Amino acid sequence: MNAVEARDLFRFYASPEGTSVALQGLTLDVAVGELLVVFGPSGSGKSTLLRILAGLDRPSAGSVSVFGRDLRTLRGRALVEYRSRALGYADQHYARALAPELTVRELVALRLALLGVERAEREHVADSLLERVGLLDRAGALPAELSGGQQQRVAICAALAHRPRLFIADEPTGELDAVNATQIYTLIGELSREVGATTLVVSHDPGSASVANRVVQIRDGRVSAEDGAAVVNRGGWVRIPEELLGGASRAHLDRIPEGVVLRVRERAAAPEQVQPVVPRGDVVVRTVGLTKSYGDALVFHDLSLELESGRLSAVTGRSGSGKSTLLHLLAGLDLPTAGEVHVLDAPISQLDATQRALVRREHIGLVTQGADLVPFLTAQESVELALAMRGVPTTSAAQALAAVGLEELAHQRVERLSMGERQRVAVARALAARPKLLLADEPTARLDEANAGAVGVLFAELAATTGAAIVCATHDPVLIEHARAEVPLGTLAA
Amino acid sequence: METAAAAGRRGRREHAVRQRLVVPVRYALRRLRVNWPRTLIVALGIAVGAAVLAMTAVGSAAVQDRAVQRALAQLQPSDRAIQAVWSGVPGQSNFDYAQLNRIARRATEPILGQKPFGVLVFRQATWGGAFVNLGAVDGLSRWLDLRSGRLPRRCTPSNCELIQIGGAPAAPKLPFLHVVGRATFRAGAPLAAYFGAGGGKLPPILLADGVVPFDRTPLPDASLIARTYGWIIPVAPRSIHDWELASLGTRLDRAQSKLEQKSDIFTIAAPTDTIASIRATSRVAAERLLILGGDAAVLLLGFAVLASTRLRRDHRDVRQRLIWSGARRSQILLVAATEVLVLTIVASLVGWAAGTGAGALLAHHLGSPGGLVVVHSIFTLRALEIGILLAAVTAAAMLAALRVDAVTFGGLRITVADVAALGALAAILLALARGKADATALQGSSGTGVYVLLLPGLVLFVLAVAAARLLAPALRLLELVARRATPPVRVALLSLARVPGEVLLTVVFFVLSVGIAVFAIAYRGTLVQGEREQARYAVPAPYVLSEDLGKLVTIQQAPLPARYRATQVDRESGYVTGNHGRDFTLLALPARSLASIDGWRSDFSSQSPAELGRLLQPATAPSLRGIRLPAAARKLTLPFTTTGDHVGLTAIVENRRGDFTPLELGEHGPGAHAPTVRLPPEARGGLIIALRLSFPVIAAYVAGHREAETSLSVNDASTGTLRLGRAFASWFGTNGITPDGRAFHFVVNNAADSILRPHQPLENELVPVVVTPALARAAGPSGILPLHVEDSVITAKIVATTRYFPSIDGDAVVTDLPTWLTAANTVEPGVATASELWLDARPPPGLPLDLASQRARVRELTSDPLARGAIALLLITALVGLALAAVGLLLTVVGDLREERGSLRDLEAQGATPAELRLHVLLRAAVVGVLGLVGGTAAGAIVGALVVAVVTVTAGAENALPPLTLAFDGKLVLLVLAALVLSSAVAATATARRLR
């Protein structure tokens, strides 16, 4: 018997704008004790699959069972019992998962406490786990006093403390840098095996495959590939990778003795060679002796840099190194403790809030991680809003959404989009506005490799064609690869 | 037998179950401790609601007590005492005074928890040669006003000092009795039942101080003399409180029973019926305040629901977190329930404590003992039950708002507020089905009144929810406006149009709080205006003089200086007969004076007072005809001859004062006569309007006896002929008088006087009158109404109707004074005269007439503690409503800043300036505020009108006359709302300044 057996799962969501499909015939088995990593682009149905496996949602059609329990019919006490004892869960938003009022020890022991385990026993378990992840000395701390990586380690300990039979993790490194991400995957691999849990990890990060027994790809609500091989779904549906199609809109399949050959008849025209229209080299951003601290905590000190127009620059560094903080200072959303920031010769760090906002409106585009988008606006309205703020005609909104592959979702409200799709809306918005300085905070954090690559290409093109200075705070190697300059934080600071 | 292992397993299981309950509770408490600033405003709102409720409860009790005290103060002194009485002869009794005293005190002390004072009074007897009322009173001096000498010292058997009250000086010649002074009883002394007032033709009262020592004095043969012992507990205002009255009957019965067990001569006397009536009246005053209590309860619930929705997002996160942590549904519920319960309980306790304190101050302000009122209003089982119930309902409402999502019924989304509103609507319909609540209904109702008085709150709630329901589609229209707006404004408008849920709840609360404030302002204005209207209605001129029935001086006789401009008015009682027979009050006043009558309200009649005056005004002012007496004449001589039996003759003269002087001309037998009578000054120059022929007194006496002593009716009469001078040539007679040239044949008897008079101008004419609708119905379509006034029937023609007329309680007949006097004195000469004088200026002091002053009446009504209490509470309610509205608006801004921070950050990132961000937040608040203000003002006005229509009780808890009309002072409401808008705007702007 498999730990997880999902057959032809469908899940539809009705909304005023129409019905959206999250899963359309997904079939997946996970063996007992297996560690399965699920890759897939944003909106492919990964999170929906996890919600169904967690008993928080039910499929519109198809069957799903976990350890022989049919989740479609699991209700009331049995469902609670399943969730509280058999299941462990770690979310990408560790801050949201951890109760801010409880200490680290209490958080790890919370599930045991809710199950009625005696205090001594649960604290012993919590301390053992915290020691295992090197956080025993912080057992009395509150989550807000820990770094992102530490918080996620606590969240994983909390999810595994009761030794669940099924452990599921939804992009557990989505908000962490590469070093921390590697540590977390290693931890998940080790701990889940120690507690004997069957593990299902949803991720964009190729690094997660290193701890997996098996890797599957999900596209359009179906399993499209497994360990690199395309999967044939019911009715003969096969997902052909984009790189094989090369942008073609028609293909032919021919049988040969060895199997089947795919022949692409029409290829899309090759993209025109991008010609730089603005001379490179103008300094768009200049910082002098930039220092930022929060209370006693110093983020960076005496940071001086210059960022030029027509370039994609990547700000890199570990979690907590100040990447987001630097972007906020450059955008005038925050003020430095010391030093100066000049944007297009405007001393933005010395301006008042209104003047900074006007500089932002005039020259700066900011790509957030997508969580802050106004939820009740449609994707197109979000882009139009950004254009309207700048007094730019809103006609280019649809084009910008198409550039990030969201033309079909243009009239869907943001709150109905997946996190990855929201992030693409944020990118589209920045593209449409054509700012002189584009600041992007982890713009590919929730995107699969293909989409991340596409964003990298888009940014590079934008920099080249408009002469914009594009600064990305990222730990994504795919994006870093497209960058012409890298600003590694933690080394520049004096 | 259970093994140790099994017991261990069971123990662990039990421990686990306990842990599962304890952990969520601890988690909830931790959350409350850490997040207290977030919940502070919620707690504050609940506390304010609870405080108003507590204050209403205390205030209600204080008002009820004050009403009792007021009623007690108005009682006759003789009714203001509870007393045990023993009457008899000691020699025939088994008990001496010491024993009786012990028995009586043991029985009576528990009645009010007060010690009675003793009284002893002998029947009138001669003591030491003096015929006196002899007696003794414990603590005598407090009931006396010393007139001469000194007050007696406490009596001792060998030397007992006495004080004399009333009568001629008297001193018993007994060596141990000494009269030391004279005094009178103080007003309100509860001794009248024992001694009367003393003085006059009654024997003097001699009193000693102290019953016990006086009883031991060696009065001769005292044990054989009947006497009365009394033990009196004065029921003075403030000596007994409302809460003590409920069980007074039981305590009296118990005391009576105790006394009767010892001696059946004992009786207990107490004004129980009066007190029962006082209680019923005082309940009206208290129950009307429930309007405010009901409002406060609804406000509290509204705030709880609003506040909960503001915490909803936070709780959704907690729920999500707990679900991922494997918590059971019951554990998640326990977390929310613990938080809500602890918050509600703590806030309610704080609110009740604050409200109780404020209520105690209010009670003190009203003149009631604050501490005792609190003890008997808040520290009672009923109050405890209500407090717990309200806290539970509040917590349940909050929990429901936190957790229960809207359900869809056939495409219609139904929320917790909708369900609550439907329940409230059902309660309203039930209450309305039970009818009006005037003072009598409230007295008689045992619960009905509560339903009716809770109406305003319930109606407001239903209106608020209905407004929100209608608002949702209206808000969608904002999408159209948003298209052309600047980006921040567009986002704000779209958020209202697309995510209206929480906005609507805020609007509901705003409508509720503003509505309550507007209602309280309007109702307060109505009661204040009602006081003025009642005063002007009761006294329709600045000053009204009428006959003092104690002095029996008519207004015509009273010496009012000529410089005073007075309107003469006649007020009479009468009735109409037939199926619709009704009593009425007739008011005759000069028709032209109607135009300037005070106390008139336009809703009384479809016609104005001036129009009514014109309808009543005769073409020419009628006046009586007769024979004018010369102004210089000092005597009247009336020559006449008579034949037949004796007859009495009286000339009726309309004098210059405006009333009538009857001149007795004597009884005369056959022959020629010329009786002469002296003309009193007022009759000189007067008009003889009639001669009355009467059955001679002796004949009437004999006839009366004959009638009494026989079984037959004997209609004895005097018959004859009367010849008068030329001046009487055109006169005619009624009741047995037949003219024959200058002679008049008469038949007069005991049944009625016969009248000889000239033809008068209104002979057989209909008197135009304005009447109340009920009398108009009694007249039927012809509009002709025979009015029975005094012993006469005067036929009137109805020219108009009015529902009310100043100074008249009940059915009214209003007519022109000269017309009325002429018509009435035609039918019955010399009967009708003006009985009141309405003046613009204060009359001189010392007039032997009753004076009613409009200003004094206003003062009396406005200084009534009940009215002041009710009006003060309404003001407080208005302020609380406004404060909560401001808090609600602030809550909206604070909530938006927290919950919209994602959107705000996004806008900021796109280059929105701080001013634009503030505009975004403030615009949402402004839309809520404007909708709430408009809705709340309308709802407040509707509820005010409803309350005024249904609860017809004045500020002083009496039936309103004239009925209250809504005084919606638009300017004041605008002013108050402007203050609210300004303060809210300042607070909201200050809060939004966080967006820098």
Measured CA to CA, the distance from residue B482 to residue B498 in angstroms comes to 11
Q: Token pair for residue B226?
A: 């009947």
CA distance A385 to chain B (A): 6
Contacting residues for B549 by C-beta, under 8 A, at least 6 apart: none
Give the mean pLDDT of B623-652. 91
Q: Per-residue pLDDT tens for B873-924?
A: 788 878 878 887 887 777 777 777 777 777 788 888 888 888 888 888 888 7
Q: Residue B11 pLDDT > 90, yes or no?
A: no
DSSP 8-state class, residue A338: E
**pLDDT band per the 50, 70, 90 thresholds, residue B817:** very high
Quick one: pLDDT at residue B714? 44
How does pLDDT run across A140-192, given as a tens digit for each residue?
999 888 877 788 889 889 988 898 999 999 888 776 667 778 888 888 888 88
- Assess whether pLDDT exceeds 70 at residue B570: yes
Torsion of CA B673, B678, B684, B690, to 10 degrees: -40
**Mean pLDDT taken over chain A:** 83
Q: Residue A162: its chain B contacts at CB < 8 A?
A: 326
Which pLDDT belongs to residue B641? 93
* Choice among A182-191, B296-305, B431-440 with the minimum mean pLDDT: B431-440
3-state secondary structure (DSSP) of residue A2: coil
| pLDDT above 70: residue B954 | no
Query: Does position B449 have pLDDT exceeding 80, yes or no?
Result: no
Nearest-CB residue to B911 (from A111, A159, A357):
A357
Q: What pLDDT sits at residue B447?
A: 43
Q: Which residues of B touch A373 (CB under 8 A)?
A: 902, 906
CA distance A240 to chain B (A): 36
Write out residues 304-333 of A within 8 Å (CB-CB) of B. Answer: 331, 333
More confident residue, B413 or B229: B229
Q: What is the pLDDT of residue B628?
A: 92
- Closest A-chain CA to B316: A96
**Pick from B687, B683, B729, B636: which is nearest to B822 by CA?**
B687
Compute the average pLDDT of residues B780-804. Answer: 90
Give this complex's ipTM: 0.73
Q: Which of A91, A110, A372 sits opposite B905 (nearest CB)?
A: A372
Greater confidence (B418 vs B152) lies with: B152
Average pLDDT estimate for A396-400: 86
A83 in contact with B, Cβ within 8 Å: yes
What confidence score (pLDDT) does residue B712 get? 44
CA atoms within 13 A on the CB side of A383: 33
The pTM of the full predicted model, rounded to 2 decimals, is 0.69
CB of A158 within 8 Å of any CB in chain B?
yes
Q: What is the mean pLDDT of residues B943-956?
A: 72
Record: contact B910-A385, CB cut-off 8 A: yes
Q: Mean pLDDT lowest for which of A14-28, A160-174, A210-224, A349-363?
A: A14-28
Q: Is 60 exceeded by the pLDDT of residue B200?
A: no
Instruction: Grade residue A17 by pLDDT with cuts at 50, 70 and 90.
Output: low
Q: What is the pLDDT of residue B416?
A: 67
Q: Given B24, B34, B324, which is nearest A89 (Cβ)?
A: B324
Answer for the pair B827, B624: CB distance below 8 angstroms, yes or no: no
| Rg of chain A (C-alpha set) | 24
CA distance B389 to B247: 27
Considering only residues B585 and A244, tell me which one the structure prediction assigns the higher pLDDT: B585
List of residues 6+ apart from A460 with CB closer than 8 A: A312, A482, A484
Q: Is A388 on the interface with B (CB under 8 A)?
A: yes
Are B421 and B262 contacting, i.e. CB atoms less than 8 angstroms apart?
Answer: no
Minimum Cα–Cα distance from B14: chain A residue: A116
How far is the alpha carbon of A285 from chain B, nearest alpha carbon, in Å? 17
pLDDT at residue B104 greater than cutoff 60: yes
Q: Identify the pLDDT of residue A274.
A: 46
Which chain B residues are closer than 8 Å to A389 by Cβ?
487, 907, 910-912
What band does B93 get if pLDDT is binned at 50, 70 and 90? Answer: confident
Residue A29 confidence class, pLDDT cut points 50, 70, 90: very high
CB contact under 8 A, B906 and A372: yes
Angle, in degrees to the nearest 10, between helices B370-377 and B329-366: 150
pLDDT, position B610: 93
- Residue B139 one-letter amino acid: G
Contact state of A80 with B328 under an 8 Å Cβ cutoff: yes
Query: pLDDT higher for B617 or A219?
Result: B617
Residues A356, B912: Cα–Cα separation, whole Å: 10
**Residue B691 pLDDT > 90:** yes
pLDDT of res. B453: 57
- Mean pLDDT, rounded, for B44-70: 80
Query: Is A91 an 8 Å CB contact of chain B?
Result: yes
pLDDT band at B649 (very low <50, low <70, confident <90, very high): very high
State the smallest CA–CA distance between residue B25 and chain A in angstroms.
Answer: 11
Instruction: Evaluate if residue B350 carries a pLDDT over 80.
Output: yes
Measure in Å the smallest separation between the Cα of A177 and chain B Cα atoms.
23
Which residues touch B767 (CB under 8 Å, ≥6 apart)?
B787, B794, B795, B796, B797, B815, B819, B820, B823
Three-state secondary structure call for residue B76: coil
Closest CB to A97: pick one of B321, B327, B914.
B321
Supply the mean pLDDT for chain B: 82
- From chain B, the residues in CB contact with A363 under 8 A are none
- Nearest to B775, CA basis, from B790, B764, B786: B786
pLDDT of residue B306: 65
Residue A267 pLDDT class (50, 70, 90 cuts): low
Contact by Cβ (8 Å): B61, B362: no
What percent of chain B stands above pLDDT 90? 21
B728: pLDDT strictly greater than 50: yes
Is pLDDT of B299 > 70?
no
Residues of B in contact with A366 (CB under 8 A): 909-910
- Give the per-residue pLDDT at A277: 46
Residue type, B754: S
Axis-axis angle for helices B448-476, B416-433 (nearest 10): 140
Asked if residue A385 has pLDDT above 50, the reply is yes
Q: Is the dihedral of CA B183, B188, B190, B191 positive or negative?
A: positive
Q: Which of B71-75, B188-192, B291-295, B796-800 has the lowest mean pLDDT?
A: B291-295
- Residues of chain B in contact with residue A414, where contact means CB-CB under 8 angstroms, are none
List the 113-132 stretch of A: residues with Cβ below 8 A of B. Answer: 113-118
Within 10 A of B985 (CB to CB), how many other CB atoms are there? 16
Tell me the shortest Cα–Cα distance from A490 to chain B, in angstroms: 26
Tell me which of A436-445, B239-248, B251-260 is least confident: B239-248
Please compute the mean of the pLDDT values over residues A404-432 and round it to a whole number. 82
Residue of B nearest to A117 (CA): B16
Measured between beta carbons, the chain B residues lying within 8 angstroms of A359 are: 911
A294 touches chain B (CB under 8 A): no
Q: How far is CA B204 from the centre of its chain?
A: 43
For the cut 90, the answer to whether the pLDDT of residue B393 exceeds it is no
Of B327, B495, B912, which is closest to A114 when you measure between CB atoms?
B327
> How large is the average pLDDT for residues A453-481?
83
pLDDT digits 0-9 by tens, B575-588: 998 766 789 999 99
Interchain CB distance below 8 Å, A361 and B18 = no
Q: What percent of chain A has pLDDT over 70?
A: 91
pLDDT bracket for residue B626 (50, 70, 90): very high
Least confident piece of the model among A175-184, B42-51, B387-396: A175-184
Peptide bond into B696 cis (omega under 30): no
HEC letters along B768-786: EEEECHHHHHHHCCCCEEE
The strand ranges marked E within A384-480 are 437-441, 469-473
* B50 pLDDT more than 80: yes
Residue at token pair 């404030």: B517
B996 neighbourhood in chain A, CB within 8 Å: 353
For residue B866, CA distances in Å to B242, B281, B639 come to 14, 12, 67
Distance (Å) from the C-alpha of residue A100 to the closest C-alpha of chain B? 9
Q: Given a cut of 80, is residue B239 above it in pLDDT?
A: no
d(CA A164, CA A86): 5
Residue in A with minimal Cα distance to B994: A353
Give residue for tokens 């109505």. B526
pLDDT for A224 equals 86
Chain B residues whose CB is inside 8 A of the A361 CB are 910-912
Mean pLDDT of A265-287: 60
- Whether residues B30 and A116 touch (CB distance < 8 A) is answered with no
CB of A111 within 8 Å of any CB in chain B?
A: yes
Best B498, B906, B918, B994 residue to mutate vs chain A (most A CBs within 10 Å):
B906
- Residue B136 pLDDT grade (very low, low, confident, very high; cuts 50, 70, 90): very high
> Would you say residue B230 has pLDDT above 50?
yes
Which among A152-166, B288-302, B714-728 has the top mean pLDDT? Answer: A152-166
| 8 Å CB contact of B494 and A377 | yes
> What DSSP element (H or E) covers B49?
helix B36-73
pLDDT at B155: 92
What per-residue confidence (pLDDT) applies to A278?
44
Nearest CA-CA distance, residue B925 and chain A, Å: 18
Are B326 and A162 in contact (CB < 8 Å)? yes
Q: For residue A344, what are the contacts with CB-CB under 8 A and spacing of at least 6?
A: A284, A359, A363, A436, A437
Question: Within 13 A of A31's CA, how many CA atoms are on the CB side?
Answer: 7
pLDDT in tens, B505-544: 777 778 888 888 888 888 888 888 888 888 999 999 999 9
CB-CB: which of A84, A96, A368 is closest to B317? A96
Closest residue to B914, CB basis, from A97, A158, A354: A354
Contact residues, chain B, for A80 at CB < 8 Å: 328-329
What end-to-end distance do the CA atoms of chain A give, in Å? 59
Maximal CA-CA distance, chain A: 73
Which of A457-471, A475-489, B831-845 has the highest mean predicted lDDT (pLDDT)? B831-845
Q: Measure in Å the smallest separation between the Cα of B363 and chain A Cα atoms.
A: 45
Contact at 8 Å (CB) between B692 and B649? yes
